[in-house]
Amino acid sequence: MQPSIFTQMIVNANPSMRDNFDSWMFHSGMLFDAPEKWWGDFGQRDFPHEGVDFCLYWDRSHERRRLGTRTRIPVMFDGVVRAVFTAYLGRAIVVEHDIFVDGSPAQSRLLTVYAHTHPLKSVKPGARLNQGEVIATIAGTHRSKANILPHLHLSVAMAAPDLSFDAFVWNIMRDPGRITLLNPLYVISEQ
């Protein structure tokens, strides 16, 4: 199976992955809408998972590898940074794109959210980004009591036309009146 454009951008941004990446490896708790955790006690989440967690992958020798805090994160599409806020692990970057997903209302805006990151200094609200541009590295998890590995959380959503990005926080992602979450793997596979 051919890797998605987004996967190719991650691999190209990270020299250690270029010659040995084969495919992503997901625990069910890493996937969109998962009710369970993939760390700690593997118990129930407080809310279904709002995105996909990229952490583990197979290399070409069929050995399991993982992303680390030096992993560079590219932006999926051209866009504008609308918010950067402190989240559970590290910071989250909200990017708005002039792209419409099949079946979405024309006035809806596509958002991608890159969480558990350490953003580059240039990544601030209002910054214009080009597809594939590196925007962050993965944040460390050493301060977390959850014993979770460093990873990229990616959410993809359609925003209501009147959504304000002032004081944007994670709970806004769970408000179906303002955000319609999409399965990131479906969006990535369409690239």
What is the CATH number for 105?
2.70.70.10
Whole-number pLDDT of residue 101: 56
Whole-number pLDDT of residue 191: 61
* Residue 23 structural domain: 5-66
Q: Provide the domain count of the chain.
A: 2
* Per-residue H/E/C for 108-122: CEEEEEEEEEEECCC
Say yes or no: 56 and 149 in one domain: no
**Percentage of the chain exceeding pLDDT 70:** 91
User: How confident is the model over 67-86, as a mean pLDDT?
Assistant: 96
Q: How far is CA 42 from CA 29, 50, 51, 68, 139, in A?
A: 8, 17, 17, 21, 22
Say yes or no: 79 and 172 in one domain: yes
Say yes or no: 104 and 137 in one domain: yes
Say yes or no: 41 and 132 in one domain: no
Say yes or no: 83 and 151 in one domain: yes
At 105, the pLDDT band (50, 70, 90 cuts) reads low
Please tell me the least confidently modeled range out of 4-8, 70-74, 108-112, 176-180: 108-112
Q: How far apart are CA 187 and CA 131, in angstroms?
A: 15
Task: Give the pLDDT confidence of 119-149 residue by residue, as tens digits.
Answer: 999 999 999 999 999 999 999 987 666 778 9
Indicate the pairing of strand 21-25 with strand 56-59: antiparallel
Say yes or no: 118 and 183 in one domain: yes
Whole-number pLDDT of residue 188: 85
Say yes or no: 60 and 86 in one domain: no
Task: Give the pLDDT confidence of 46-67 residue by residue, as tens digits.
Answer: 999 999 999 999 999 999 999 9
